[in-house]
Amino acid sequence: MSDTAPEARPDGRTDGQGGSAAQHRPAPGKPVPVSTYRLQIRPEFGYDDATAIVDHLDALGVSHAYLSPLLEPTPGSAHGYDVVDHSRVNPEAGGREALDVLVKRLRSRGLAAVADVVPNHMAVPTPARLNRALWSVLRDGPDSPYARWFDVDWWTSGHAILMPVLGSRIGQVLGSGELKLDSSGSEPLLRYYDHVFPVRPGTESLPLAELVDRQWYRLAHWRVADEELNYRRFFDVDTLAAIRVEDPEVFDATHELLLELLASGELEGLRIDHPDGLADPRGYVRRLAEHSGGAWVVVEKILEGSEVLPDDWPVAGTTGYDALLRVGGLFVDPAGAGPLSALLAEVTGEATGFPAVVAAAKREVVEAGLYAEVHRLVQLLVQIVAADVRLRDHTERALRECVVELLVAFPRYRAYVVPGEPAPAEAQRVLEEAAEQAREHLPEERWDTLAVVVDLLLGREVGSAGRLADADRAELVVRFQQTCGPVMAKGVEDTAFYRWFRLAGLNEVGGDPDRVGVAPEEFHAYCAQQVRDWPVAMTTLTTHDTKRDEDVRARLAVLSELPLEFAEALRQWRRLAAEHRHQELDGQTEHLIWQTLLGTWGSGRDGGPISGERLLGYLEKAIREAKLHTTWTNPDEAYEDAVRSFAMGVLGDAAILEAVEAFSQRIAGPVRVGVLGQKLVQLTMPGVPDVYQGTEVVSLSLVDPDNRRPVDYPERRRRLARLDSGARPGDLSDEKLLVTSRALRLRREHPEWFVGEGATYTAVATSTGNAVAFGRGTTELDGGVPQVVVVATRLAASLERLGGWGQHTVVLPEARPGQDGPGAWRDLLTGALHDGGAIQLARLLASMPVALLVREGSSEVAAAATAAVGEDAAP
């Protein structure tokens, strides 16, 4: 048998392991979402628009609408993560009144809402007065009642908040007259084009240059930010300033409305954006749990490799990138790694491995884009060693070199070290392993300095005794951890992921392009751990942050199964495209273009290539994020023209499109298997599944902003109504909608099988690695015997090469205690009835590559499916 991972016991644990599921569930009486549906609320799709599709969410089987940030953002914000006022619901989306109407409509259908929360930062908008708290701080400095809100280093040179908004240097701006004092209103203002700033009281009568110099902010050329910024920001985004929610007063002020919505029941849970940016993420989630009464909370935490969420966080779990990695990996063939590497080298003329690409990208980010953050760490170290005679001989240059190498080598978004507490063993291990790598890039005379830095970062006693409580040492521990996340995000996700494309679908948030495929055994082990420790964490396949929608990745995953056929096809496409290729176009970008074209190739009524507008918008973002030939701040028009010319040449060449269409038809069967398989697995595995807006049918969007395009909900309603009337699925989108709606409805009817306190997970044995199967049930019924069995085909191209299923079987679990015979199972997707025990996969999966089996008689959904679909309703 292929599935040999340890099975979960009836209580959800595996033998020999403890469990902590209770502390990672909401408090007794607090709701647990059964499933969520993500809605990107923005001016173009406000709360009234969301209200209009509640009937569709209900028909799908969703339990909760999952809303992007509610609070008032910068006007025109397309995402809501740039909050300017924590006391108001986004007025451009309809405000509190429209939100209340949406909630009332959801309740009328038995649904509820959860929402995104942005605790880490606020917007630095244009004009700045849109952020009342920031405006006060700019005017009054440390005396502002909001001064404690912002993570500002007031005591740097100039004693002022850096405002890097000028198009040229300050001397040139003053000399040109572009900066003006405006005294016509209720308060004097400094104006610079669209930017408006307050004037520090008592300085309004000074000469302009002196007035500018006396403000609590420093107006500067925009390029100064990367070197001298003195407020903590979100990654490297100057227009998002970090706030200090570790301060109880700041927490209370910024969360009052959200907590009110939780207390009233208008919200039933929260998704926390980027907790790793906070000074004390554990303290934050503990305070949130206390103030919310233990509501369902998930955190946007990206786990690397075998990393797990800290067990002492009172949260339900992550937002699901770790699940995305495992689910997607099930449908990627590890055997394709070698041939795809060879093809990458052929196209690019390079054989550089991904780890080397990551190291180079992180180093660039550390030494350039995040120079200001690194400089602050070095200055803290300089202060620490200067104040301790036993450490004084460690030079600033040595300290900087050590910090740079540690940041480059550190493999995670954060090590969870709390000042004043012993560093957790895992944090010690990871940091010391990073130090080992850093040592390889440092001369031997720096090794002693590196050891000191590591000890300080782990909060150990080093140098003179009795200094563990020093404020500088505590700040160093916190700020280093706050810097690791931006280095990973900007260096890996937003740079390396755009430079190396062996298989572009693996370049995903929380993913590892160097890791090809996940075995069923590993997937089962992961699920057993989740049901034991994090049973109501979120699972996902697509989010507003994913680089590609789930179905684009499913299409690309098939290339791992057919690497030689893809290589031959690609060679043909490249020969046909020779006349469109400019000598400046590099191989990596061309390889990305071909994979993007194939990954977004539509079928049926939406068949054919991506539009030129969408492709060019995506490629502009991709090549600028790569920062190899062009950047956002220094665009290279010649290179960008070469990329645009090639892309549009390909899209306009009938011979090329015909060849790509032919290959797309070749992979249609395996693509169908991946699209349906990963969706069904995600919707039924341990956790609370999220469906990103529109992805209930095939969705081929790319990274933001492409994934915010309008969703055709009337079309989705029509499709679902047809399926519910008994019609056969007409295409892959219909099939995906069938899988999604039947799985979500089953979850909503029987939440105890999926998110209940007694919910179980059981690996179900198959005789082939081309199928993955598992059972869900509850200890409250028949001692945990599964009531649901999920079966999904995987790696269909290799299955085809092997001649199909042959005599391979899956063993449906035993009958209920006291029941005569093996029992029967109803497939909710086809209506077919199957006897329990060993069943041939060829029969079970004759009409669809997936099966959603429910014990006959145990579910009203099964009876409804039989009536609506019928046993012979195979597509």
CATH number at residue 170: 3.30.1590.10
Distance of CA 552 to the CA centre of its chain: 16
Clarify whether residues 445 and 473 are in a common domain: yes
Q: What pLDDT is recorded for position 822?
A: 62
Over the stretch 691-748, which tens digit does the pLDDT of each residue have? 999 999 999 999 999 999 999 999 999 999 999 999 999 999 999 999 999 999 999 9
Q: How far is CA 455 from the centre of its chain?
A: 32
Instruction: Provide the 10 A C-beta neighbour count for residue 583.
Output: 6
Residue 862 in any domain: the answer is no
Task: Return the structure tokens found at 416.
Answer: 């969870």
Q: Ramachandran region of residue 466, left (φ > 0), alpha (ψ -120 to 50) or beta?
A: left
**Is the domain of 34 the same as that of 46?**
yes
Rounded alpha-carbon distances, angstroms, from residue 68 to 36, 270, 639? 12, 10, 36
- CATH code where residue 57 lies: 3.20.20.80
pLDDT of res. 236:
58
Position 225 scores a pLDDT of: 76
Q: Would you place residue 874 in the very low, low, confident or very high pLDDT band (cuts 50, 70, 90)? A: very low
132 and 236 belong to one structural domain: yes
CA atoms within 13 A on the CB side of 721: 8
Say whether the peptide bond before residue 422 is cis (omega within 30 degrees of 0). no
Tell which wins on pLDDT, 161 or 11: 161
Count CA atoms within 13 Å of residue 89 on its CB side.
Answer: 21
- Lowest-confidence pick of 228-232, 429-433, 506-510, 684-688: 228-232
Residue 114 lies in a domain: yes
What's 160's DSSP letter?
S
| Domain total of the chain | 4
Contact between 644 and 630 under an 8 Å Cβ cutoff? The reply is no
Residue 526 lies in a domain: no
User: Average pLDDT, stretch 75-104?
Assistant: 96
Q: Which helix (H) or strand (E) holds 190?
A: strand 189-192
If asked whether residues 380 and 311 sit together in one domain, one would say: no
User: Residue 658 is part of which domain span?
Assistant: 563-666
Residue 776: inside a domain, yes or no?
no
Give me the phi and psi of 628, to 5 degrees please. -95, -40
Per-residue model confidence (pLDDT) at position 563: 98
Q: Is the dihedral of CA 488, 493, 497, 498 positive or negative?
A: negative
Check whether residue 406 and residue 485 sit in a common domain: yes
Residue type, 546: T
**Is residue 67 very low, low, confident or very high in pLDDT (cuts 50, 70, 90)?**
very high
Give the residue-averaged pLDDT of 648-674: 98
Question: For all residues of the chain together, what is the average pLDDT?
Answer: 92
Q: Which amino acid is at 519?
A: A
Is the pLDDT assigned to residue 865 strictly greater than 80?
A: no
**Tokens standing for 18?**
């403890």
pLDDT at 8: 37
Q: Which of 265, 263, 243 is nearest to 133 (CA)?
A: 243
696 Cβ neighbours under 8 A, 6+ residues apart: 60, 716, 736, 737, 740, 741
pLDDT for 2 equals 40
- Whether residues 367 and 453 fall in one domain: yes
Same domain membership, residue 154 and residue 133: yes
For the chain, give the number of residues.
875
Other residues' Cβ atoms within 10 Å of the Cβ of residue 869: 24
Q: Residue 442: helix, strand or coil by DSSP?
A: coil
Structural domain ending residue among the three candidates 647, 666, 685 = 666
Same domain, yes or no: 578 and 601: yes
Q: Identify whether residues 205 and 279 lie together within a single domain.
A: no
Residues 207 and 292 in one domain: no
Which of 222, 242, 262 is where one domain is finished?
242
Query: Which residue has 């009531």 as its token pair?
Result: 787
Q: Residue 795: left (phi > 0), alpha (psi -120 to 50), or beta?
A: left
Tell whether 722 is covered by a domain.
no
Please state the separation of Cα 46 from the chain's center in Å.
23
Answer whether 775's CB lies under 8 Å from 658's CB: no
Find tokens 């609070």 and name the residue. 71
End residue of a domain, out of 183, 207, 242: 242
Q: What is the pLDDT of residue 816?
A: 60
Chain Cα centroid distance, residue 12: 27
Q: What is the largest CA-CA distance in the chain?
A: 96
From residue 626, give the alpha-carbon distance in Å to each of 347, 362, 364, 495, 619.
18, 12, 11, 5, 10
Q: Are residues 161 and 205 in the same domain?
A: yes
CA distance 770 to 450: 49
Is residue 115 a contact partner of residue 90, using CB atoms and an 8 Å limit? no
Using DSSP, state whether 25 is helix, strand or coil.
Answer: coil
Joined together, the tokens standing for residue 225 give 């930010």
Q: Which tens digit of pLDDT belongs to each residue from 578-588?
A: 999 999 999 99
Residues 44 and 109 in one domain: yes
Dihedral sign for Cα atoms in the order 235, 239, 242, 245: negative
Residue 208 maps to a domain: yes
The answer as to whether 642 is a domain residue is: yes
Is 409 contained in some domain? yes
- Encoded tokens for 633: 């701040």
- What gap in Å lies between CA 445 and CA 439, rounded to an integer? 10
Per-residue model confidence (pLDDT) at position 864: 62
Q: What is the pLDDT of residues 616-645, one digit of tens each?
A: 999 999 999 999 999 998 999 999 999 999
- The residue assigned the tokens 């200090």 is 244
For residues 194 and 192, what is the distance between their CA atoms, to the nearest angstrom? 6
